[in-house]
A and B are shown apart, each in its own frame.
Chain A
Amino acid sequence: MMAPAAPVIRVDGVSRWFGSVVAVSDVTFDVTPGITGLLGPNGAGKTTLLRMMTGLADVSSGSVKVFGQSVRDNPPLYQRMGVMSEHESVYGFMKGREFVRMMAKLHGMERIDEAVDRAIDLVDLADAQHRPMRTYSRGMRQRMRLAGTLVHDPELLILDEPLNGADPRQRVHFKRLLQKLAAEGRTIVLSSHILEEVEELADTVLLIVNGKLAASGEFHAIRAALNQRAYHVKVVCSDPRGLASAAVGLSSVDAVHVDPDGGVLILSRNVLDVQVELPRLAQAGGISLRRVEPLDDSLESVFGYLVEG
């Protein structure tokens, strides 16, 4: 393996409290290039954490370093960052292009028009750029805001629910855009509640529950680390009862349930054992396995498990 590169964002022992309310509690993690998903229930402290990561809020303890520097009161750092927060109104009277130009000027860019053209093309809004933004649909406004966030070609993008109001086609387009940007070596932190999309996009995830970091890292690895929890797998086969009675015989199986439709549900705390034994049992019994599906494999299920505690 190559020597690990310095992390783009380093959050170290960060806490934030407001009087007696502890919003974020002793959180430590690194963010590296690629797409990182930031997840958590409403009120878990995600927004506070994001604000601290972008330097908009101060930490109560610990430190946040972006590109190795303190992010607080460090305007030059914003040249390398693009931040898009969840709720932000735009000036309705402004034309889309004007808005992106304004963002470019705020970053003190030169050769503004080129950059603006490029950003607007990236979000595929060239046709609408000369109309005032109040005529845009919500999804279009979000995309134009994204163009404004990208116009200065930042290495680091922090996006909070960027897809609010986006329709299915816009979502597909946006996903491809993010993947392209990540492939170019950028670092993207994406906060979202739509877990099936995060599962598709993110290389790593950070899960915040009640102000604490409940899980971090690559999703499949997190899932594997949770193998001690109850594991449900649904099996469709040629002989449900036969498979069910064989499965009950395994010491790693806690329970077996046979559905009216013939599906066999196996409950176990030893994932690996079931995964290895299932084909063996089927082979021994001359049973044909048609479908094997883990029911708690999705990011959503992992999320639910970790949030419930």
Chain B
Amino acid sequence: MTTQLTAAAESGQPPVRTGTVFDIGYRSYTGEREGLNRSRLAVYKDGIRIALGFGRGGRAKILPWFFIGVLAFIGLIMAIVAGAANRIGGPEAAEQLPSHGDYYSIAAIIIFIFAAIVAPELLCRDRREGTINLYLVRPLTGGDYIAARWAAFLTITVAAAWLPQIILFLGLSMGDPDPIGYLRLHWLDIPRFLAAGIVMAAYATTVAMLVAAFTLRRAYASVFLVGLFVITTPFTIGMASEIGGAAGEWISMFNLADIPLYVVDLIFGKPSMLTKDIPAVHLPATTLILWYLAWTLIPGAVLWWRYRRLSP
């Protein structure tokens, strides 16, 4: 309600002067209240903001953008080298070089380290500082929260996985003397690398978030994940070559950094340059796919279960 204090002029010509006092006291909220989707979207947007370091000053942006930069850079280098090879030795020479199918095996470790360092930011802090309790008393369940955070990090990782491939594709097609011809020949690469990007990102996101869901400290989660991805590699490779044979194939399956790469290979139809030497590559396709799904869906289920059960 506004209160009009009117100071009227004396009779005659002078204009009426008025003054108004506005009520800036508390107002009830009578606007729209959107449902669960608004809540989820808010947590999702916040997840993106946290992962990319927005609103937290320069230092928070260094790591995520550095990794994104490195990933993009690798794609760029591959494109430049292929372009140079094309000019010097012709298309056949370029064909020998690593391409879309090989990119992920080259960049996998970077993607995993990116996930190891950035994913815990989305989960650990809220639990450590107690903010998760404020989420849980809102019209949101623990399951909604983790789904939104997972989706946010997945979005970023997928984008980070697609960007270099897009750069590579553009580089290769423009480096080719006949770009349109290149496009017509190689357009299948596009849906392939898009799918492969999702395969890589889903695995990295889920595993990284699972570890982050069980510790309050980001640093512990990150170190553990880096160890998980980096250390299992030489260990399993060593053991696999020692033991050899079918047992060796299975042992090399436990190289966590390679699990999604077999599926990527299947998408591209042939083992990449770096994976072709791994014994596990010889296992049947269904086994490799099921193995990947086990390592993505089961951690995902545990992650979901963990957050559903959270209570202040």
Q: In the complex, A touching B, CB below 8 Å?
A: no
A residues with CB within 8 A of B: none
